[in-house]
Chain A
Amino acid sequence: MTDVTFLPGAPSARRLDLTSDAAKARVRSRYRSEARFRWYGICAIVVTAVFLVVLITDILIKGLPAFTQHSLSIDVPVTAELADPEGKGTPEALAAGDYNKLVREAVRSHLGIEGRAATSNLSKLLSTGSGDGLRDAVMSDPKLIGQTVPVTALLSDDADLYLKGTGTKIERADGVAIATPSDVKGDITITAPGAFAADTAALRDVITKRVATLTAGAELYEQSADATVRDRAKPLREEIATLAASISDANAPALLGSHVPSLLIAINGGIVKLSSLTNDTASGTALIPLKSAEAAQAGAWQRVTYVTPEADRKVDDAKVALLDRLQADGKVSRGFNTLFFTAGDSREAELAGIRGALVGSILTLAVTLALCLPIGVMAAVYLEEFAKKNWFTDLIEININNLAAVPSIVFGLLGLAVFLNFFGLPRSAPIVGGLVLALLVLPTIIIAARAALRAVPPSIKEAALGVGASHQQAIFHHVLPLAMPGIMTGTIIGMAHALGETAPLLMIGMVAFIVDIPAGFTDSATALPVQIYLWSDLPEAAFKQKTAAAIIVLLMLLFVMNGLAIWLRKRFERRW
C-alpha cells in the first residue's frame, strides 16, 4: 500500500466479473439462499398457524357446548304444604318452601315411578337450582299456590353432559316374537320364544372372552410372592366362577354385567333393564313401570342397547332410561345458557357463571386504567420532554425498562406486603388488584408513551416554538395530541395484558371462591383468568367445559381490545 498511489478517476485493474462459471455459481448460490430463507419463513408461519388452529379448535370444541344448557319443561302443581309450609304467605315463608321437591314430584308423577331409588335418581338428574325459577314466580305472585304452573327446570350437570352426547349411543331394534312380561314393576321375566337367541349367543362370546381375560389376570396375581397381591386374585376368582357357571350350560341364563353393553326391553310403556338372558326368556328390573302385563306383539316392543357399558359412563342405566323417556316425551329442550353470563361462581357446575369474575375483572381494570393512564402519560411526557438528561434520569429509564421485565408474581408479593399488610387494604378486593396490576402495566405504558412521543416529528415542536409557544404549550397543544393514538394503543395492549394476568392476583387473595357479584371496589371479587384457574382445578367434567367457555370469553375480550387498538391506530394514524 505504501508506494502505490491511487489517482482519482484512474481505471481500476479489477474488472467486475459477471460471465465466468464462478460468477454464475455465485448468482445461483444467492438465489438458493434467498429461496431457502423464504421457505424457512413459510415453515415458521405454517407451524405457528397449525399450533394456533389446534389450540383454538380444541378450546372451541370443549367450550362451545357450555354456552347451551338442557332444561326440562314440565307442569308443576304448586301445593301449599311444600311451597308455604308454615302457611303464612309472607315472603320469608315462601322463600323457605321446598320448590326442588315440587318440581321433582311433578317429574316423578309424569314418569309414573315410585320408591326411594327413583327419588334419588331424579334428584341427581335435576339441578339443585331446578326450583329457583318456580320460587321466583311464586314469590312474585303468591296466588300461584294451588295452581298448576308450567316450569322450566334446570337439569343437573351430569344429565346435561349426557344429553350433549358424552353419554352413550342408544340402539333400538323391534322385538321379533310375542313377548309376555310376568309383572308390571319390580323384578320381571319376559318370555319371548327365540327372540333373544342372537343376543344370548353374542353375550356368551363376550362372557367367554372376559373369563379368559380375568383368568389371566388372576393367575398373574397368584404368582406373586406378596400375600396382599395374591389376595387380589380372590374377587376375580369369584367373578370367574359366577360367569363360568352362567355359560356352562346352554340353557342356563347368561349374566349381563356392568362391563358389557346394557340391554333393556321397552314394552307396554315401561322399560326393563335385563340382568340375565336365555334364548327364550329375559329377566330384569323395571326402571319405568309397565302399564300392563299383557303380551306384546312382535314389533310392538323393542330391544334397546346402551352401547357404552354402564361401568364406563357417569350416568347409570336407570337415569339414562329416565332421560331417554323424558326426551321422547318432548320435555327436554336445549337453550342458550344465559345463567353462564348472569350468575356468579357456584359449586354446582350447571349453576356456575362468569358474571362475578367478569365484573371483578372490569372493576380491577377500571382501577388500573384510572391510575396508569394519567401517571404513565405524565411520567412519559416529563421524562421525554422536560427532564434533564443526566445520570439520574438514565437510572430512572433503566429501572423502568427493568420493571417491565419483572415477573408478575413479584408484583403480587409486593402488593401483599405493601397494600394488604402495611396499608391494611381489604383482601381479595378489586382496588388492591387494580393497584397491583397498575404497577405491572405502568412500565409498559410509560415505554409505549415515550415511543409515541418520540415518533412525533421534532419539526412540529419547532414550529410551535417558532410562533412563540412555550415549551409546555408546544407539548400539550401539539406533541401530546399527535402522540395520543400511539399512547392509547400502548395503553390498550397494557390493559389486555393486565386482563389476562393471574399470578399477582393469586398473591392478594383474589383466588377465593366468591359467589356474590362484586358491587364495589372493596367487595371480595375474583377475576376472569383466576376463575379459569379455579375451574380448571375442579374434577367435574362439566367444569372442564365451563373452563373452556370462560377461556373463550376471555379470548374474545382480548381480541376486542386488541382490535380496538388496531382500529385506533388506523383511524388516527397521521402521515407527515
Chain B
Amino acid sequence: MDMMTAHQTRSLTEAASAANPKVVARDVNVYYGDKHALNNVSVDVPDRGVMAFIGPSGCGKSTFLRCINRMNDTISICRVTGKITIEDQDIYDPELDVVQLRARVGMVFQKPNPFPKSIFENVAYGPRIHGLSKSKADLEGLVQEALMKASLWNEVKDRLHESGTGLSGGQQQRLCIARAIAVSPDVILMDEPCSALDPIATARIEELIDELRNNFCIIIVTHSMQQAARVSQRTAFFHLGTLVEEGATQTIFTNPTDQRTQDYITGRFG
C-alpha cells in the first residue's frame, strides 16, 4: 500500500513512465511451430496508464499480449525466446510459478466469458483459490469492492446469486473485468475487450478503463484506432510480427515517424 501511494503521487508523464516501466520486454521472439510469429519485440510498458497495441490482423499484437501472462504456454507448439520482466522479475524464469504470475497479471478476453455460475461466484473464484479473504464477510466485501471498481455494483447488487451468463454482453464484460481486478493484479491485459459489444456498451467499458488506469497498468489490444486514441496514453504499432513504432499516443496519431504507421492510421491498409 505504501508503494501505491508513492506511485500515485507521480505524474503520468512520458518521461516518468519511461523511467520506471512496469513491464519490460527485450528481443521477444515467438514461434508457432515453424512460423515466426513475433520478431525481436522490445518495449517498455509504463506503470499506471493504458498502453494500446494496434496493427492489422495477424500482426502479432495478441500473441505478444499473451506472452505477458504466459497464456501461450497452453499452446503446445508455441515457443518464446527473449526476456520479459514485470517489476524486474523475469517471468520466463523456470523457478517462477506460472499460476502466481497469472494471478498478478489479469486478463480480459475478446468475447465476454463469465463462468456459468452466479455473479458472486464469478468474482469470488479468484480470491478464493488464492486465499485472499479471511472470512465470508471479508469475501463479500472483496466482491463488492471489485464490482464497484468495475462499475457494475449498482446494476447487479440485487441479483448477485443469479447466473453471470444472464447479463447483457457489456455487463458480462464488466463482470469479467471485476473478476480480473478482484485478485488485485499488477497488470491487466485486455484482448480486444469491446469487439463483441455495441457502441454504448463499448463507451461504458472505455469509461471504466479510464478510471482503472489510475490504479493499474493496463495493456489493451484493439482494432479500433479511435479506441486506442481515446483510452491510451501510449501506443505501439505492430506490423507483420515486428514492433514498428512505439510512443505517446498523441505522437503516434499525429506525427508518426514510420511510413507504415502513417499508412495504417490514415486507413490506407489494415
Once the chains bind, are B71 and A470 in contact (CB under 8 Å)? no
- For residue B111, CB closer than 8 A to chain A, the reply is yes
Once the chains bind, are A466 and B129 in contact (CB under 8 Å)? no
Stretch from A6-14, A213-221, A324-332, A455-463 forming part of the interface with B? A455-463
B13 CB to nearest A CB, Å: 31
CB neighbors of A among B114-172 (8 A): 114-116, 125-126, 129-130, 165
Once the chains bind, are A467 and B183 in contact (CB under 8 Å)? yes
Once the chains bind, are A468 and B130 in contact (CB under 8 Å)? yes
Once the chains bind, are B76 and A464 in contact (CB under 8 Å)? no
Once the chains bind, are B113 and A459 in contact (CB under 8 Å)? yes
Knowing A460-B115, A463-B176, the reply to whether A470 touches B106 (Cβ < 8 A) is no
- Name the residue on A nearest B189 (C-beta): A466
- For residue A116, CB closer than 8 A to chain B, the reply is no
Q: Once bound together, how far apart are the Cα atoms of A366 and B116, in whole Å?
A: 32
- For residue B74, CB closer than 8 A to chain A, the reply is yes
Q: Once bound together, how far apart are the Cα atoms of A41 and B74, in whole Å?
A: 46
Once the chains bind, are B129 and A468 in contact (CB under 8 Å)? yes
Once the chains bind, are A466 and B116 in contact (CB under 8 Å)? no
Query: A575 contacts which chain B residues (CB < 8 A)?
Result: 165
Interface string of A547-576 (1 = CB under 8 A from B): 000000000000000000000000000111
CB neighbors of A among B79-119 (8 A): 99-100, 102-104, 106-109, 111, 113-116
Knowing A462-B113, A482-B116, the reply to whether A467 touches B71 (Cβ < 8 A) is no
Knowing A460-B115, A462-B71, A478-B115, the reply to whether A467 touches B100 (Cβ < 8 A) is no
With an 8 Å Cβ cutoff, the count of chain A residues facing the other chain is 22
A406 CB to nearest B CB, Å: 31
* Most B-side CB within 10 Å, residue of A459, A464, A467, A473: A467
Query: A88 contacts which chain B residues (CB < 8 A)?
Result: none
Q: Once bound together, how far apart are the Cα atoms of A101 and B44, in whole Å?
A: 104
- For residue B69, CB closer than 8 A to chain A, the reply is yes
Query: B130 contacts which chain A residues (CB < 8 A)?
Result: 468
Q: Once bound together, how far apart are the Cα atoms of A211 and B123, in whole Å?
A: 98
The 8 closest A-B pairs by CB, nearest first: A468-B103, A466-B107, A459-B113, A467-B126, A468-B102, A463-B113, A470-B99, A574-B116
Query: B116 contacts which chain A residues (CB < 8 A)?
Result: 460, 482, 574, 576
- For residue B179, CB closer than 8 A to chain A, the reply is yes
- For residue A469, CB closer than 8 A to chain B, the reply is yes
- For residue A465, CB closer than 8 A to chain B, the reply is yes
Query: A457 contacts which chain B residues (CB < 8 A)?
Result: 113
- For residue B187, CB closer than 8 A to chain A, the reply is no
- Name the residue on A nearest B101 (C-beta): A468
Q: Once bound together, how far apart are the Cα atoms of A460 and B112, in whole Å?
A: 10
B189 CB to nearest A CB, Å: 8
Q: Once bound together, how far apart are the Cα atoms of A457 and B109, in whole Å?
A: 13
The contact of A466 among B76, B109, B111, by CB within 8 Å, is B109
CB neighbors of B among A475-489 (8 A): 477-478, 482
- For residue B37, CB closer than 8 A to chain A, the reply is no
The contact of A459 among B106, B109, B180, by CB within 8 Å, is B109
Query: A576 contacts which chain B residues (CB < 8 A)?
Result: 116, 165
- For residue A24, CB closer than 8 A to chain B, the reply is no
Once the chains bind, are B129 and A473 in contact (CB under 8 Å)? yes
CB neighbors of B among A290-316 (8 A): none
CB neighbors of A among B214-266 (8 A): none
25 cross-chain CB contacts under 8 A: A388-B76, A389-B76, A462-B74, A462-B109, A463-B176, A464-B115, A465-B71, A466-B69, A466-B102, A466-B108, A466-B109, A467-B102, A467-B103, A467-B126, A467-B180, A468-B103, A469-B102, A469-B129, A471-B74, A477-B125, A477-B129, A478-B115, A574-B116, A576-B116, A576-B165
Q: Once bound together, how far apart are the Cα atoms of A389 and B109, in whole Å?
A: 26
Query: A473 contacts which chain B residues (CB < 8 A)?
Result: 129
Interface residues, chain A, with chain B CB atoms under 8 Å away: 388-389, 457, 459-460, 462-471, 473, 477-478, 482, 574-576
The contact of A460 among B103, B107, B113, B126, by CB within 8 Å, is B113
Q: Once bound together, how far apart are the Cα atoms of A90 and B209, in whole Å?
A: 92
Once the chains bind, are B111 and A459 in contact (CB under 8 Å)? yes
* Most B-side CB within 10 Å, residue of A388, A459, A473, A574: A459
Query: A467 contacts which chain B residues (CB < 8 A)?
Result: 102-103, 106, 125-126, 129, 179-180, 182-183
Query: A462 contacts which chain B residues (CB < 8 A)?
Result: 71, 74, 107, 109, 113
Query: B99 contacts which chain A residues (CB < 8 A)?
Result: 468-470
Query: A468 contacts which chain B residues (CB < 8 A)?
Result: 99-100, 102-104, 126, 129-130, 183
A568 CB to nearest B CB, Å: 16
Q: Once bound together, how far apart are the Cα atoms of A463 and B180, in whole Å?
A: 9
A392 CB to nearest B CB, Å: 15
Query: B108 contacts which chain A residues (CB < 8 A)?
Result: 466
B197 CB to nearest A CB, Å: 15
Query: B106 contacts which chain A residues (CB < 8 A)?
Result: 466-467
Q: Once bound together, how far apart are the Cα atoms of A466 and B76, in whole Å?
A: 17
Query: A464 contacts which chain B residues (CB < 8 A)?
Result: 115, 125
Once the chains bind, are A466 and B183 in contact (CB under 8 Å)? no
Once the chains bind, are A463 and B102 in contact (CB under 8 Å)? no
- Name the residue on B nearest A470 (C-beta): B99
Once the chains bind, are B114 and A463 in contact (CB under 8 Å)? yes
Once the chains bind, are B102 and A465 in contact (CB under 8 Å)? yes
A387 CB to nearest B CB, Å: 11
Once the chains bind, are A463 and B115 in contact (CB under 8 Å)? yes
Query: B109 contacts which chain A residues (CB < 8 A)?
Result: 459, 462-463, 466
Once the chains bind, are B115 and A466 in contact (CB under 8 Å)? no
Query: B165 contacts which chain A residues (CB < 8 A)?
Result: 574-576
Q: Once bound together, how far apart are the Cα atoms of A466 and B74, in whole Å?
A: 11
Q: Besides the contacts A466-B108, A467-B183, A468-B130, what 12 more A-B pairs have beta carbons closer than 8 Å?
A: A388-B76, A460-B115, A464-B115, A466-B69, A466-B107, A467-B126, A467-B179, A468-B100, A468-B104, A469-B102, A471-B74, A478-B115
Once the chains bind, are A466 and B125 in contact (CB under 8 Å)? no
Q: Once bound together, how far apart are the Cα atoms of A471 and B130, in whole Å?
A: 14
B147 CB to nearest A CB, Å: 15
B176 CB to nearest A CB, Å: 7
B85 CB to nearest A CB, Å: 19
- Name the residue on B nearest A473 (C-beta): B129
A385 CB to nearest B CB, Å: 10
Query: B100 contacts which chain A residues (CB < 8 A)?
Result: 468
Q: Once bound together, how far apart are the Cα atoms of A346 and B252, in whole Å?
A: 92
Query: A460 contacts which chain B residues (CB < 8 A)?
Result: 113, 115-116
Query: A463 contacts which chain B residues (CB < 8 A)?
Result: 109, 113-115, 176, 179
Q: Once bound together, how far apart are the Cα atoms of A576 and B169, in whole Å?
A: 12
- Name the residue on A nearest B125 (C-beta): A467
Query: A465 contacts which chain B residues (CB < 8 A)?
Result: 71, 74, 102
- Name the residue on A nearest B112 (C-beta): A459
Q: Once bound together, how far apart are the Cα atoms of A464 and B111, in whole Å?
A: 14
A11 CB to nearest B CB, Å: 27
A427 CB to nearest B CB, Å: 48
Query: A469 contacts which chain B residues (CB < 8 A)?
Result: 99, 102, 125-126, 129
Q: Once bound together, how far apart are the Cα atoms of A470 and B100, in whole Å?
A: 9
Q: Once bound together, how far apart are the Cα atoms of A446 and B86, in whole Å?
A: 42
- Name the residue on B nearest A462 (C-beta): B109
A384 CB to nearest B CB, Å: 14
Query: B125 contacts which chain A residues (CB < 8 A)?
Result: 464, 467, 469, 477
Query: B115 contacts which chain A residues (CB < 8 A)?
Result: 460, 463-464, 478
CB neighbors of A among B40-77 (8 A): 69, 71, 74, 76
Q: Once bound together, how far apart are the Cα atoms of A468 and B130, in whole Å?
A: 8
A98 CB to nearest B CB, Å: 70
A357 CB to nearest B CB, Å: 42
Q: Once bound together, how far apart are the Cα atoms of A459 and B196, in whole Å?
A: 14
